[in-house]
A and B are shown apart, each in its own frame.
Chain A
Amino acid sequence: GEDVEQSLFLSVREGDSSVINCTYTDSSSTYLYWYKQEPGAGLQLLTYIFSNMDMKQDQRLTVLLNKKDKHLSLRIADTQTGDSAIYFCAEADRGSYIPTFGRGTSLIVHP
């Protein structure tokens, strides 16, 4: 099975908060990432969190990590139409730093 799993779609109204969830299986994961991909473009690193952290906040983005359940979430406050994109969760272990990606969550923001 996949090492990193995400739901495929999320639809929210502009101004609401979005929460994108991810689960991973590798207990040796050291770094957990969120990337954003707009149509036809490469990936933009949004934020990442070390496995010894529970939370990281960066402006409108809040990352929560539940290491016991191997659950990672990305909360986007005051979601805007420009936030519409595919969001990839990824994990990497200390040895390689090469991310393993989930299939991505397509976020659709309605006006």
Chain B
Amino acid sequence: GAVVSQHPSRVICKSGTSVKIECRSLDFQATTMFWYRQFPKQSLMLMATSNEGSKATYEQGVEKDKFLINHASLTLSTLTVTSAHPEDSSFYICSAPQKMAEAFFGQGTRLTVV
């Protein structure tokens, strides 16, 4: 099946620093990728839709200046958490649809801000 690779799987950073998370589609091209955030024992919350060659579309309540998304190529989207704070600690997951109605997910990134 299709593979989506997310890196890093875990990161610990100091408060005030920025962290970049990468999402790659390994064996297919993805003009669109999705970024989710998951709180403990909660559902996945869609943060934004990453669009290759254009600006990302952010969901209501998500700060675009805090969560910078860049879709540099047809196989790579990055999410940068800028000036991270402890409340940004969470599990971030990306997904990419390979074909209509089938979205494949990365392994997720556990971000801890200390």
List chain A positions with a Cβ less than 8 A from chain B.
2, 4, 8, 30-31, 35, 40-45, 48, 88, 92, 97-104
Q: How far is B103's CA from A88's CA once the two chains are assembled, in angstroms?
A: 14
Interface of B is mostly: strand
Min CB distance, A8 to chain B, in Å?
8
Min CB distance, A63 to chain B, in Å?
14
Beyond A41-B107, A42-B93, is A98–B102 a contact (Cβ under 8 Å)? no
Q: How far is B42's CA from A40's CA once the two chains are assembled, in angstroms?
A: 14
Residue pairs across A and B with CB atoms within 8 Å: the count is 51
B25 CB-CB contact with A under 8 Å: no
Question: Are A43 and B43 in contact, CB atoms less than 8 angstroms apart?
Answer: no
The residue that A45 contacts in the complex, of B9, B43, B102, B110, with Cβ under 8 A, is: B102
Q: How far is B93's CA from A104's CA once the two chains are assembled, in angstroms?
A: 15
Min CB distance, A92 to chain B, in Å?
7
Residues of A contacting B102 in the complex (Cβ-Cβ under 8 angstroms): 45, 48
Question: Are A43 and B105 in contact, CB atoms less than 8 angstroms apart?
Answer: yes
Question: Are A42 and B34 in contact, CB atoms less than 8 angstroms apart?
Answer: no
Beyond A48-B102, A97-B101, is A88–B43 a contact (Cβ under 8 Å)? yes
Residues of B contacting A45 in the complex (Cβ-Cβ under 8 angstroms): 1, 102-105
Question: Are A103 and B101 in contact, CB atoms less than 8 angstroms apart?
Answer: no
B46 CB-CB contact with A under 8 Å: yes
Beyond A31-B101, A42-B6, A48-B102, is A101–B110 a contact (Cβ under 8 Å)? no
Q: How far is B100's CA from A44's CA once the two chains are assembled, in angstroms?
A: 17
